[in-house]
Amino acid sequence: MGMLAAAVFLQGCGGGDAGTPSASPAIATASTVVAQPVAVSVSPAAAPTAQANLVSGWASQGEGTTGGAGAPASNTYVVRNWAELKDALKNVNSPTYATSPAAAKLEPKIIQMSGTIYGTDIGNGILADEAYYKSRNATAAKWDWYLYLQSLDRDFMADLNARVAAGDAAAIVTRARISALSSAKSTLRNIQKEQIQAIVPSNTTIVGVGRDAKLIDGYFSINASKNIIIRNLELEAPRDLTADWNGKEWNARYKAISVVTGKQLWFDHLTLSDGSYPDSAEVVTINGVTSRVQRHDGLIDMEDSTDYVTISYNIFKNHDKTNMVGGSGDQNGHKERAFNRLTFSNNIWENTTQRAPRARFGRIHLYNNYYKGDTAAQEYKLSYWIGMGAESKILSESNAFEITGPGAYASKVVSNLNGYQFKDVGSWINGVPASADIEAAARAALEKNWASASAAAAASGFAIGPYTNELGWAPTYRYTPGHSFEQVKAHNLAHAGAGKVSIAPPAIDAGHRSR
């Protein structure tokens, strides 16, 4: 019965050959209960389907990606709040849990998320905020965002230091408070992370049921785990309450999905964004530089030997730094070179600034994706889409790029970030075939960046060379490139994103408990 349930949750638009622009197949429905394991009822249409026909792209290679397939009824959960989700990830209903929680966590499990779940949910209808985190620890209580902003201002600090030198008691107290900010920030960050992080173990399927499953201000962390599927969810990326300003830009800590050394992963039919807290929510001026505070990091970032990943039928929107591959730095090729095999297919990037994706040390296949951006947008202004990072080997096929605003040229498709191997086949810009223009732009970007890239290669130990569209690899899986700009665009608009996989809500009492 567990295999039948797994089949239900794994079927959907984009299953099979995710590269084929075709109509969405119907999805069977299931009714599942949680508190006391019982048989899962499955309609006849939900007959087991070969896993090879469900997951395409790089995730179908290697050991294959099955997630929680084969989970018994005891390991199938419906969750409606953050505590229940964390319990389900631990697999607390498994008979194994009582004697070996570590072993139970690694068993196949299927987790159905229903409705809106908040990562800041601390129970009793209360959501954690900065005041709550500060109340948890005396060091964290010393954090003050507005004082932090003042501490970055050169004129303010010069005046403060002069007052301290003159023996001003109030100034002395203020400078002592500023000195305490660093440890306060680190402590508060760790407390926030503990609250909003959901650690996903191996052999797990997480799927949204119905058309409104949503995670707000929480994130999935995959660290040294494998065989994981996450589908049919909307994720509003969590806010970093202690974002950093480095003098040029803001850096935040938390992603919507963070992957470190993950293997055999499938992210499908997700909608990811900054949600109700866009960058424009906070505008500050520091030393004459006006900027929008970025409290979000990547939407899906993957690093440190992550491998065999398919990212399909997702919508990435209203966000700056969207997808990083090989995020541990140009100097870490020894950890990345043999890995980073990723497929991005049938996704939409809309109103994103950069990193769609930015890739280091990877064999990256981008096909049948739809990109839409504006170089003059007031918010999430397009900088570039595909970032050629160190030793990346990027194959772009049948991607539909739609650019508006000044400078809406092929140079916005590809940015050089120290890479030299890139190939495009059959892509379009604003409906016009543009492979030659895109490759020419990739070459020109490298040549413009040559001195900097060469210096970085010498310093960080990665290879650099003249531009080439010879990648040294080809996809080892079946896929079908799109036939036209309009076909790819229309298909993705119709089928990408959360709520497009017709998995029925569970027929259980709304007042259930997960354990």
Q: Give CA separation, 411 vs 8, 200, 439, 442, in Å.
A: 43, 38, 10, 7
Residue 189 CA: distances (Å) to CA of 9, 128, 235, 501, 504: 35, 13, 21, 35, 37
* Single-letter amino acid code for the residue at 198: A
Secondary structure of 455-479 in the HEC alphabet?
Answer: HHHHHHCCCCCCCECCCCCCCCCCC
Pairing of strands 197-199, 219-223: parallel
Please, what sign has the CA dihedral across residues 113, 117, 120, 125? negative
Tokens of 167: 């023996």
Give the separation between CA 4 and CA 42, rounded to whole angstroms. Answer: 7
User: How big is the chain, counted in residues?
Assistant: 515
Answer whether 50's CB lies under 8 Å from 6's CB.
Answer: no
Q: How many helices (H) and strands (E) does the chain have?
A: 12, 34
In one letter, which amino acid is 405? Answer: G
Contact 224, 199 (CB under 8 A): no
The candidate with the shortest Cα–Cα distance to 419, out of 451, 387, 458, 384, is 387
How many Å apart are CA 250 and CA 296, to the nearest integer? 9
Q: Which two tokens stand for residue 7?
A: 């089949």
Task: List the one residue out of 201, 246, 219, 26 whose CA is nearest residue 97.
Answer: 201
DSSP 84: H
Q: What burial class does residue 414 get, using C-beta atoms within 10 Å of its C-beta: 0-12 exposed, 13-18 middle, 19+ buried?
A: buried
The residue from 239, 355, 358, 360 that is catalytic is 355
Is 515 one of the annotated active-site residues of the chain? no
3-state secondary structure 233-259: EEEECCCCCCCEECCCCEECCCCCEEE
150 CB-contact burial (10 Å; exposed 0-12 / middle 13-18 / buried 19+): middle
CB atoms under 10 Å from CB of 466, counted, come to 9
Taking 3-state DSSP, the helix, strand and coil percentages for the chain, each rounded to the nearest 5, stand at: 25, 30, 45
DSSP bridge partners of 113:
79, 208
Burial tier of 451 (Cβ tally within 10 Å: 0-12, 13-18, 19+): exposed
Positions marked active-site:
355
